[in-house]
Structure 1
Amino acid sequence: MNRNYFHLHLVSDSTGETLIAVSRAVAAQYQGTVSIEHVYPLVRNADQLARVINEIQSAPGIVLYTLVDPTLSDELQSACAEFGAVSMSVLEPIVNLFHSYLGPAQSPRPGAQHTLNSEYFRRIEALNYTMAHDDGQGVDEFESADVVLLGVSRTSKTPTSIYLANRGVKTANLPLVPGAPIPEAIFQLNRPLVVGLLASPERIVQIRENRLLSLNVADNTPYVDRAMVSDEIAQSRRLFNERKWPMIDVTRRSIEETAASIMDLHRLHQMKFLSD
């Protein structure tokens, strides 16, 4: 049956991030069909689950869930079967695979991946560092970064930096501004991976024009001049080539894809840095 939309119920005993990421990745394959998301985080007792079941019953659709408690999981599955909503435990196949290899988990806990452990505090430290070293701030401290991003205005340096920080990667970034000298400290960097971000002139102009429009600023400036933008990008490319810094063209990449490429480059950079 073809549908223009469907209800997607995401039931989690934690934050729901896993369900959101998985479901959106699949839903994106169905162009022309819109998922109406209903997210129910922190469902950990029967009363909370009862409220969720009532909402699912009023708008049946696809139900995905991550519930560690087998009693809650069974109750949700039975309720969905009663009123014709298809349901699936997203983690169960993976849990079964781990179980077959490692044996049963010692202590199944809802939201165990979000405990305040060293990894969590590492991400917080990375985020604090990244916010303090955004847009060229504290350039003399860039040596303590894991990654340094360079690029002309509107090459997604800041959102990419924040995404990397949420993965525990301390990231600094510096805009390349026409006529402005690059701080000498950038050329002295040793520990961080330096990555150049590029995009097509058309893409940069489009983003800059939208930016000026949102600010109610006239668009007859060199900032959005096609020829000058092309020259900016060409100069940045020459710089990256001269310094042998890896380059990533973000024209058709999402922030997530760009960050994944950078993390892979960072892994190789760390291996080389440690072996030297």
Structure 2
Amino acid sequence: MSARRKTVTYFHLHLVSDSTGETINVLAKAAVAQFERVQPIEHSYALVRTPRQLEKVFAGIADAPGIVLFTLVNEDLRHALVRRCAELGMPCLSVLDGVLAVFEAYLGTKTTHRPGGQHQLDSGYFARIDALNYTMAHDDGQNVHELDQADVVLLGVSRTSKTPTCIYLANRGVKAANVPVVPGIPLPPIVENLRRPLVVGLLASPERLVQIRRNRLLSLSETEETDYVNPSMVRDETSAARRLYEKLGIPVIDVSRRSIEETAAAIFTLYQQRKANGG
């Protein structure tokens, strides 16, 4: 590969929100993912609801010119930000305007212009908090006697992204637990008898696992070769995990080339299908 092709383009990306910034961060990541060899330098401004707070945003974008994306519902703040960006010659876009316009046209009603309306403290919010608390208490094989209370239980060998996938699911209100599949150590008996939760097995190619595990050991300053990163042993480990999943009769997801979001989305689809079928 030539040096030219390896070049990464860096740019400043300003994300301005009158709420937590979660929505605009997700949208920005989705947009950036469509471009190769570009890397944003993100500047996030959350809970911007007063002119004084907006002044800090102005200072930030003046110091680091780039793209400005915002989700502000207050008209005065919106207009002030757009004017300032025009003066600085910076592109500025309200990422929800197009979506809201479609909703308004179809529903025949106007938006409420309520800051952070998507994060109101409704039953869904408390369900997500409850799910997150459950997930953190049942990570990596903890409290296995309570696994029947889960919505989803993930099984997987080391470094198949069990924990972050569970946390992602919890943020969608799904109580997710995970249990490690360890060579030579049988699963807790309760796992084979679970009926209520959806049980899913995670797999990755041996080559991918070795790469991830080596990087993990390097980050811990561990350089000694062990069975944990031995290609032959890892192949045996993944083969044994696959046989276990077949024995349990559970769905299997290969995470080798999937992001955590993609893995969680696939599991969530299986979960929704199971619920629709009365499971």
The two structures share one fold, judged by TM-score above 0.5: yes
Q: Letter of the aligned partner of 2:125 in structure 1?
A: Y
Query: Which ranges of structure 2 fall in alignment gaps of 5 or more residues?
Result: 1-6
Secondary structure of the residue aligned to 1:65 is strand
Cα drift, residue 106 of structure 1: 6.2
1:173 to 1:89, Cα distance in 2 relative to 1, 3 A: same
Q: Could you tell me how far apart the structure 2 residues matched to 1:264 and 1:71 are? A: 41
Q: Which moved more, 1:90-99 or 1:101-110?
A: 101-110
Which residue pairs with 1:96 in the alignment? Answer: 101
Which residue pairs with 2:112 in the alignment? Answer: 107
Which residue pairs with 1:268 in the alignment? Answer: 273
Contact 1:191 1:273 (8 Å CA) reproduced: no
Q: Which moved more, 1:51-60 or 1:239-248?
A: 51-60
Identity %: 58
Which residue pairs with 1:66 in the alignment? Answer: 71
Q: Letter of the aligned partner of 1:80 in structure 2?
A: C
1:76 to 1:3, Cα distance in 2 relative to 1, 3 A: farther
Among 25, 42, 57, the residue aligned to 1:20: 25
Using the size of structure 2 for normalisation, the TM-score is 0.92
Q: Letter of the aligned partner of 2:33 in structure 1?
A: A
Which residue pairs with 1:242 in the alignment? Answer: 247
Contact 2:104 2:111 (8 Å CA) reproduced: no
Aligned residues: 273
Using the size of structure 1 for normalisation, the TM-score is 0.93
Secondary structure of the residue aligned to 1:260 is helix
Q: Could you tell me how far apart the structure 2 residues matched to 1:261 and 1:138 are? A: 26
Secondary structure of the residue aligned to 2:258 is coil
Which residue pairs with 1:8 in the alignment? Answer: 13
Which residue pairs with 1:182 in the alignment? Answer: 187
Contact 1:64 1:90 (8 Å CA) reproduced: yes
Q: Which moved more, 1:28-37 or 1:255-264?
A: 28-37
Q: Could you tell me how far apart the structure 1 residues matched to 2:112 and 2:30 are? A: 30
Query: Which ranges of structure 1 fall in alignment gaps of 5 or more residues?
Result: none
Contact 1:67 1:73 (8 Å CA) reproduced: yes
Cα drift, residue 101 of structure 1: 1.5
Cα drift, residue 150 of structure 1: 0.5
Which residue pairs with 2:211 in the alignment? Answer: 206
Secondary structure of the residue aligned to 2:41 is strand
Q: Letter of the aligned partner of 2:176 in structure 1?
A: T
Which residue pairs with 1:220 in the alignment? Answer: 225
Among 133, 139, 146, the residue aligned to 1:141: 146
Secondary structure of the residue aligned to 2:55 is helix
Shift >6 Å, 4+ stretches: none
Which residue pairs with 1:167 in the alignment? Answer: 172
| Partner deviation per Cα, 1:14-67 (whole Å, 9 max, x = no partner) | 111211111122123222333222111111111221231233233322111111
Secondary structure of the residue aligned to 1:136 is coil
Which residue pairs with 2:134 in the alignment? Answer: 129
Q: Which moved more, 1:256-265 or 1:199-208?
A: 199-208
Secondary structure of the residue aligned to 1:190 is coil
Q: Could you tell me how far apart the structure 1 residues matched to 2:12 and 2:227 are? A: 47
1:210 to 1:44, Cα distance in 2 relative to 1, 3 A: same
1:87 to 1:217, Cα distance in 2 relative to 1, 3 A: closer
Secondary structure of the residue aligned to 1:229 is helix
Among 32, 40, 44, the residue aligned to 1:39: 44
